[in-house]
Amino acid sequence: MGLLALGTALDWPEARKRAQQVREWGILQLLEIWNKAKGKERDALLWGDEVEYLVVLYEKEGSKVLLSLRQAEILDALACDAELAKKGGCTAEGQDAELKQTQSQPVPVFHPEFGRFMLEATPGKPWGIGFKELLGVEPDMKLRRRIAKEHMLPTEYPITLTTFPRIGSPGQFTFPEYPISGPRLRSQFVPDEIANPHIRFPTLAANIRSRRGRKVQVNVPVFHDKNTPKPWKDPTVDFDLHQWPEDDDVRNGAAPDDHIHMDAMAFGMGSCCLQITFQAKNITEGRQMYDQLSPLGPIMLALTAATPVYKGFLANTDVRWNQISNAVDCRTPEEMGEKPLKNDRWRIPKSRYASNSTYIAEDARLRPEYLDPDLVFDPEIKQTLMDGGMDDLLATHFAHLFIRDPIVIFAEDLEELDLKKTDHFENIQSTNWQHMRFKPPPADNSIGWRVEFRSMEIQITDFENAAFSVFMVLVTRAILSFDLNFYVPIKRVDENMERAHALDGVLREKFYFRKNPFPARPSRANTVFGDDSRPGSAMPSRPASPGLVEDEYEEMTVNEIINGSMDGEFPGLVPIVESYLDSVNVDVETRCELATYLDLISKRSSGELDTTARWMRNFIAAHPNYKQDSVVDEKITHDLVGAAIAIGERENEGRNFAGLGIPGLPKLLGNFRGGCGGGDENGAVAGVDGSPSE
């Protein structure tokens, strides 16, 4: 959004002066879309995934692996070939066959990302409702990886680790190499050139820093191993740097003991994730999906955990979420409650990258007790929206998003308000990085209301990424078909998000979750919307008896949430999905393929299989260079990345992992794609690397 707009990006002092204008114009644009699209009906149930990659420079024989900063060149090459493919004229060797291969599913689309070492790829067009189509996801993801690779140097590879283990470590970690401590980021660990050079990105980073009045502070608790000193002081922090005023940050306590200290947006926004966007048939259904998927965010974060290393050290957390949150936290000391409010309008409890703070569905089951009692919203904006005809809940949602300042403003865009565009609205909307996003139709109203599920971590293989994507699609279908109710108080979702960070949280933590997800209709008095007349569902309603909100949920393990509780009270998401699949017509082969995905989800939840984070920890612990001191050195990083590359390539060749010699794979991936139809392409593999399973 606005990515291609060229113009004069305002520095923070100027941007701040124009923030209110952007908000006001953004709200007018939002009302324009809302009035145009609120009655939109019968949009198709489409969905699409987004996969993000790191680009690395790797040679098997070497002992070092680097991030490649050639995003722009790679994207140019991809765009050129995509153009040629569209015209049917691509004859460049090696690329044409792939690019023209699929008629029904057009060539994947590649996008830039914040990190200059990142790529993002989406399907060429969104997926439809068919079950067969779900089987197209994994081949398409593999195709994307292949196409990306084909547009890289022989030693460059796209990999799907969430973070580069040694980004920001002393010594060279990018190619080309640049000096650190540049004017935009002022980081003591990473150069300004780490960010996508498009003016939007360095401006975003610089203005966040400028608005905060200091650098961002990303502190991750270090994992204390046997030989890790206690207290541990991050040995890479330079307390004697005097290049920028912000170098005082660490002298003022920004780098506490026992924490890996990071100081730039790239440490967060340089992480890769797996996102899924759903189009609803109308706004009502979109609002329902937003609310019902929200409590699943932290659960899926814990289950996809894949981020145990930062800046060359093992962390005591397993996921990326809070690091991104801190890496883009633009709040001032006043907003954070460190100083009395004087120049700023509000205390703001969360970063603009954080778990959701609103529920928005027009749902009789949405009780006021679920809403966030500390929600900050702009009352004037809410009033403007309500005067424009928007209902209270949705107006509150947007009035909450609009407490934020726009960070990147182009002077040219402020000359005239264009109600046929949504640029000012999107400016604020798309820099509110919550774990769900409610996406209105674009200005031309060509597509419908969409909801984005944003918490999942990217996985190493496309099998896993397809499995998690397809699982979320099936859960969403089950939610709609059975009218499921996952409401818990938003504060509990916030707490779950914190718990999802714990090391091995998937096995060790408990999460607040609703005990009975099946629909019951409470009486009017206890709901936000007194309207009981929602469309009927397949499931019988139970008699209404709204008890205490606290009795509606309890603490459950991920295993109980996914596979069902021992006492049978909570059915489990996988069994719910299975009964949904029983209720529709799915052919045997498709059902079998889907079962391999559900199996992965189920076994990751029970601990029969490892999360990516656990697998990485075991890989590092078993490496000859590891000294049980929490240090992930260059050679370990080289070999870990090498393993990720080898797994990706082997998967793409359609073969199993036998003989790769990478430890722990059976425990990560299970009986990889064994079972359906017995074709040798997906042939069953037990003990895939020939070693006894651990």
Question: Applying CB under 6 A, which residues contact ligand ADP?
Answer: 46-50, 111, 122-123, 126, 275, 277-279, 447, 450, 452
Q: Minimum distance from CB of 482 to ligand ADP (Å)?
A: 22
Q: Which of 275, 356, 427, 476 touches Mg ion (CB under 5 A)?
A: 275
326 binds, among ligand ADP, Mg ion, none (CB under 5 to 8 A by kind): none
Q: Minimum distance from CB of 430 to ligand ADP (Å)?
A: 6
Residue whose CB is less far from ligand ADP, 352 or 492: 352
Q: What is the sign, positive or negative, of the torsion defined by CA atoms of 233, 239, 243, 247?
A: positive
Q: Minimum distance from CB of 597 to ligand ADP (Å)?
A: 18
Residue whose CB is less far from Mg ion, 264 or 576: 264
H helical segments located in 38-136: 71-86, 96-100, 131-134
Residue whose CB is less far from Mg ion, 122 or 637: 122
| Tokens matching residue 202 | 């360095």
Residue whose CB is less far from ligand ADP, 12 or 438: 438
449 binds, among Mg ion, ligand ADP, none (CB under 5 to 8 A by kind): none
Q: Do 553 and 492 contact (CB within 8 A), yes or no?
A: yes
E strand segments, 498-617 = 511-514, 553-556
Contact between 426 and Mg ion by CB under 5 A: the answer reads no
Buried b (16+ CB within 10 A) or exposed e, 211-229: bbebbbbbbbebbbeeebe
Contact between 288 and Mg ion by CB under 5 A: the answer reads no
Residue whose CB is less far from ligand ADP, 11 or 444: 444
How far apart CA 587 and CA 582 sit, in angstroms, is 11
How big is the site for Mg ion, counted in residues (CB under 5 A)? 3
| Tokens matching residue 683 | 């042939």
Q: Which of 32, 49, 50, 247 touches Mg ion (CB under 5 A)?
A: 50
Q: Are strands 118-122 and 433-434 parallel, antiparallel or unpaired?
A: unpaired
If we measure between CA atoms, which residue out of 454, 586, 569 comes closest to residue 514? 569
Q: Are strands 433-434 and 353-354 parallel, antiparallel or unpaired?
A: parallel
Q: Minimum distance from CB of 130 to ligand ADP (Å)?
A: 14
Residue whose CB is less far from Mg ion, 50 or 192: 50
Contact between 357 and Mg ion by CB under 5 A: the answer reads no
Q: Minimum distance from CB of 448 to ligand ADP (Å)?
A: 6
Residue whose CB is less far from ligand ADP, 47 or 173: 47
Contact between 279 and Mg ion by CB under 5 A: the answer reads no
Q: Minimum distance from CB of 116 to Mg ion (Å)?
A: 13
Q: Name the residue type at position 550.
A: E
Q: What would the x/- binding string for Mg ion be over residues 76 to 115, using CB under 5 A?
A: ----------------------------------------
Provide CB contacts within 8 A for 664, sequence distance 6+. Answer: 610, 615, 618, 619, 622, 694
Residue whose CB is less far from Mg ion, 48 or 136: 48
How far apart CA 83 and CA 105 sit, in angstroms, is 16
Q: Minimum distance from CB of 113 to Mg ion (Å)?
A: 5
Q: Do 482 and 519 contact (CB within 8 A), yes or no?
A: yes
Residue whose CB is less far from Mg ion, 152 or 269: 269
664 binds, among ligand ADP, Mg ion, none (CB under 5 to 8 A by kind): none
How far apart CA 22 and CA 24 sit, in angstroms, is 6
Residue whose CB is less far from ligand ADP, 47 or 164: 47
Q: What would the x/- binding string for Mg ion be over residues 108 to 137, using CB under 5 A?
A: ------------x-----------------
Provide CB contacts within 8 A for 444, sequence distance 6+. Answer: none
Q: Minimum distance from CB of 420 to ligand ADP (Å)?
A: 19
Q: Minimum distance from CB of 184 to ligand ADP (Å)?
A: 23
How far apart CA 182 and CA 205 sit, in angstroms, is 12
- Across the strands, what pairs with 259? 221
The H or E element containing residue 325 is helix 321-327
Provide CB contacts within 8 A for 684, sequence distance 6+. Answer: 671, 673, 674, 675, 678
| Tokens matching residue 349 | 């409890």
49 binds, among ligand ADP, Mg ion, none (CB under 5 to 8 A by kind): ligand ADP
Contact between 413 and Mg ion by CB under 5 A: the answer reads no
Length of the chain: 694
Give the CA distances from residue 549 to residues 435, 546, 562, in Å, rounded to whole numbers and listed in that order.
Answer: 23, 8, 22
List interacting residues with Mg ion (CB under 5 A).
Answer: 50, 120, 275
